[in-house]
Amino acid sequence: MKGKRGLVMGVANKNSIAWAIARQLSAQGADIAFTYQGDSLLRRVKPLAETLNSDPLLLDCDVTNDDQMDATFKALEDKWGKIDFLVHAIAFAGKDQLAGSFVDNTTRDGFLSAMNISAYSFVDAARRAKNIMNDGGSMVTLTYLGSERVIPNYNVMGVAKAALEASTRYLAADLGPRGIRVNAISAGPIKTLAAAGIGSGRHMFRFNKAASAMRDNTDPAGVAGAALYMLSDLGLSCTGETHHVDGGFHAIGMPVEAAMDEASGRES
């Protein structure tokens, strides 16, 4: 990644998937600018970014704010002229939308807001990024299996992730002629802020560990490795892909009996 420059959106703290990706890209020589969501997160993101670069470019950017999105990509152009990569690791739905019944609890506002922040923001960022991206650049977003299958409580976020993955394919088609690749990484559950306080969280992590092919939870370092592959020239010719990094959980149709016992805490 030496000589490559790019933007990482979605670091909130040291547990963020975006931070695992940024560390790996930086270790391979990339120069990275960061966006953060509001002043309260700057206090967390600045010290992290400063461990990679003594004078990092840090940009306040709520993805629902057009002025801040404009200012983010203007600042990147002013500093570097061109960029080579974009990492989008942003999702949000109202807490009331992420519990219980999808059919009863999904409101119009909740649906539109989840779509806006979690799916449209990638399309919006990609449009702005491509205007300052070198041909041969690369973009990556983060998604989750709840887009393909029903996962308890994921609800409207699953619908938004399905839109995000479809957007990835359409973006890949539009930007392919310029050699710009666009991919998604479908990560298994990882203990971050976005996975904290979700309904039946303890059961979810235990079940994923027991029922995955590898019998383990997803290591964020594996997600960062996949991002490095996709964002570097290692990933040449790979575009429009949703790549699972989840210990093989997505490949299992029915877990073995011992795994079910383990997940439920029963003796086998």
Give the 3-state secondary structure of residue 253.
coil
Residue from the set 1, 7, 12, 32 that interacts with ligand NAD by CB under 6 A: 12
Burial class (CB in 10 A: 0-12, 13-18, 19+), 67: exposed
Q: Which helix (H) or strand (E) holds 228?
A: helix 220-231
Q: Is 144 a catalytic residue?
A: yes
* By CB under 6 A, residue 93 contacts ligand IMJ: yes
* By CB under 6 A, residue 7 contacts ligand NAD: no
Report the length, in residues, of the chain: 268
Q: Angle 19-114-159 (CA atoms, 0-180°, nearest 5)?
A: 100
The mark string for 47-76 relative to ligand NAD (x by CB under 6 A, - otherwise) is ---------------xxx------------
**Nearest distance from C-beta of residue 196 to ligand NAD, angstroms:** 8
**Nearest distance from C-beta of residue 188 to ligand IMJ, angstroms:** 8
DSSP structure class, residue 11 = -
**Nearest distance from C-beta of residue 243 to ligand IMJ, angstroms:** 15
Nearest alpha-carbon partner for 31 in 9, 67, 57: 57
Catalytic residue numbers? 144, 154
Which residues are near ligand IMJ by CB under 6 A?
91-93, 95, 98, 144, 151, 153-154, 157, 189, 194-195, 198, 204
